[in-house]
Chain A
């Protein structure tokens, strides 16, 4: 909402208040000022008269002038084509600060120039708000006889001295999209008296009308029309033009200007139709029109069912609430008209305006909602101005369809409730004085104060808390004492999944992985290439682009994108992860994705390099699970039979828990990576929900044996497909309770080993918790273990 302070001063005495003070008060009371614009700017300006004007000897377009400014005669070089002897002009003296910079004394192509003759455009006035015939458009401004040489009060006298605030209006205050409501608001904010023009009931004149008005759409519940049989088209007065210009509205003629002006004043968009274009004297609002329609901007728009249209004789004559029609607009020779003031459903106007891309002032106001009595007020004011400025006569009575949806009402609030909600000690006087500043009628009954709500605040003020907000808003609130809620003590804690996230992030960052956050919305390729997709993807109705059309069903592609970005920027050894939800039509899943590329450990000074491989990512995955209290046993490790398109079929695995896939990990498939121009990437994706809902194993202190343990090594030659886990299980089974632990410490294939075989070396630790093991005892059990290994796995001992 543009707020012209000059216009505001027509209603409120703003004397003694600087622009800054006004803005400061507005901000405190809930009106953010987004920008402050001076309609015109310039210091050191004075009225001068060109007493001599010659062509510049060294230029084909410059003039050399002698300009009298009363106190002296200045030499000024001027390039304007309309510069001529005898002209009264605006002179910017040396030192003047203009929007384009400071004026300095100088020499232009050999001629002295001590100042500048100005166009209004050079004083910051936008061309679009200048009258079409303004000399300032192509040259310097030509001042009339109101100005005397030496005058310095120029911009004010021209009506261009104004500060325009761009005020942001919250959705609950659509009333403030009108000058009158804004003036009342400003009166309350600044605590000054507001005087508005009186036009109540002015439109209650006119002869009986046979004009027929109907609405066939529930989205137009109220409509007023008034026929004016005689108007005189002419130029609007300066004061009106100034206010319109300050609001960025182009001035056309008195009739169009009045309709715009009344909209700015009352917030009700008005439309005037040339009466000649409505032979049938009939208007019907419909929402079933389909086809094209040319609006008064000359552009053809596609109208769909649901769009509100103003029609006459079944033909459209305007797009309701948005823009009038080309076929019914006010013309240069219009001499009679129909005033339209209607209420259209805000949501429907918003839909139509958005679809047509037609964001007019009228559409903006309808979209945000109007005050219930706006139609009547606007017609009253329009009639008043038409009589005053367009010699209007031959009025017919106002024709009305429907009724305004408003009954006067009151809100009762008690001081006790107010103070209990705010935590402050307002007095009744303070509460009542705020209501009075807002020009609300208020009366006090014991602890209660009862406020009558005017129509223009009825959209916003409904419950006692709304009244409380007005009091808080319009009184000093910085002194509110801060307290903390007095409540029963509670224990705040993280949920299971929240703790799991923290544990995982802790482990991974300690191992050199970076936590990342990626976008949820992805393209269709990411959906096709999902890992363990959560289900059928969720798709947006109207995405911003195809790249962000779907809600991702797995994390891998986002992480690969982050990996590629980093590799493209020469960041090597990319170890990153993400914890995020993924979605499908089946619902949500919480996931962890981990990517490893390059080296996991790279310590050049120490000649220490650990390249990422299957076992490194397996180790990371298992460490996470172990730290969360889940060991192999509750979780089964299987060869990957779930996804061999994206994973290397022989260097990947899946983990199963509760008969469901928990994690897939390993090397990504070289063919898939080639399509992404990537080499050797290891990836794991884990579903976290089951970990959160399954009880982890309990922590139990280990029992340390008092008796020494005995360690034995054994090397076996076995077929290459024998699995380490099977060997270890066999050892455990054969050795029974005396086997404290066993592990593989070497695997070798290649030279000196028969093809198809591998050498595998194991370490077994024996221990008895009750006694010291004798050598014979160890030999007995170890021999048993060895025999079992040799026979079960068709192995030989090396």
Chain B
């Protein structure tokens, strides 16, 4: 009987000290058909009939205990091995990730898309028109007849005496007014490239982009213009921005306003961006001049409307802190790469 207990202790001790190689040897040594446990069965012959089952039971228990200990040990060893293997696979998580290289949208595209999305959300459509334009749409229909002093405000690239590179996206508005004169109300924005005879420097470009907006309907007011522009500024710059109107002059609107917004950097406290004033001049606007409506064949007694125009470069430069407009036309990919979102 003592043999059993001793054998058990011997086996458990050996299992405890085994490694993955010797564990299999121990199984053979103890649990195989010719193993130490099985050979105990030989003692059965010497036992009485009532002792036999008891002994058999004890041997079986012993076998189970050893098997159990071995299983446990095996599991332990496997888990240690796995752990060691995983540890060997340890990575430097700070190494650069692999992500397919993405390009970027140009900042001018970003601003244009943002403007389009804001106004599409308000039910506007996006109208376009030719950049090689006739002076009819660029000037005449915008209440700027030949010889009008306002034609002096913009030095224009002419192609022939009556054709030009459009100097303002107002030309698109005039086309929309004419096309939709019998299809009112109108709600559009008109983004696009425009051209003026300016020498390029940090703040001037002979080519730039504008986005104008035009709403024509019944009972449209300056207050509606203010609400619309406030919404736009909130979306583009700062949801708490305030705007103010300053009287201005454009031939195609009456009354006309310059619109300032509270500085998006300092929120109106005053900083270098707003030259300490807390305000930034952001766009021009006004109520569509009755002459413009009449020229398009719209009854100015019945319908009113507002128009506004914002410089896309100006918005981009303010939003992204760009100080030289030429950076927007150099297409240096180190610059473009900064506009990932």
A residues sitting closer than 8 Å to B (CB atoms) are 27-30, 170-174, 345-347, 350, 367-369, 420-424, 463, 465-466, 468-469, 472-473, 477-478, 480-495, 498, 502, 505, 508-521, 538-544, 548, 551, 562, 565-566, 569, 571, 574-576, 581, 583, 587-588, 601-603, 605-606, 608
Contact = CB atoms under 8 A, between A and B. Distances in A.
B332 A350 contact: no
A678 to B, nearest CB: 16
Given A484-B227, A492-B119, A502-B113, A520 B103 contact: no
B264 to A, nearest CB: 18
B120 interface: yes
Interface in B187-245: 187, 193, 195, 197, 199, 206-207, 215, 217, 219-224, 226-228, 230-231, 244-245
Interface of B: 95-96, 98, 100-106, 108-109, 113, 116, 119-126, 128, 130-132, 146-150, 152-153, 157-160, 165, 185, 187, 193, 195, 197, 199, 206-207, 215, 217, 219-224, 226-228, 230-231, 244-249, 251, 254-256, 287, 289-291, 304, 328-334, 336-337
Given A421-B221, A490-B187, A566 B331 contact: yes
Given A492-B187, A542-B158, A566-B331, A515 B125 contact: no
Most chain B beta carbons < 10 A, residue from A466, A515, A575: A515
Contacts of B106: 514-517
B245 A509 contact: no
A544 B197 contact: yes
Contact of B333 (A27, A477, A576): A576
Q: What does DSSP make chain B's interface, helix, strand, loop or mixed? A: mixed
Nearest to B147: A347
Contact of A465 (B113, B132, B255, B328): B255
A571 B333 CA distance: 7
Nearest to A561: B331
Contact of B109 (A28, A480, A515, A565): A515
Nearest to B118: A492
Nearest to A488: B185
24 contacts: A28-B246, A172-B150, A420-B219, A421-B304, A463-B291, A465-B287, A469-B255, A480-B223, A483-B227, A484-B227, A485-B217, A485-B224, A485-B228, A487-B187, A490-B124, A490-B185, A517-B109, A519-B329, A520-B165, A540-B157, A544-B199, A588-B131, A602-B101, A608-B98
Nearest to B229: A482
B147 A512 contact: no
B109 A505 contact: yes
Contacts of A346: 147, 149
B332 A569 contact: yes
A469 B247 contact: yes
Contacts of A345: 147
B223 A424 contact: yes
Given A473-B255, A486-B219, A517 B331 contact: yes
Contact of A423 (B185, B221, B333): B221
Nearest to A459: B149
Contacts of B334: 569, 571
Nearest to B209: A517
B331 A562 contact: yes
Contacts of B246: 27-28, 30
Contacts of B98: 603, 605-606, 608
A566 B332 contact: yes
Contacts of B254: 463, 465-466, 468-469
Contacts of A481: 223, 226
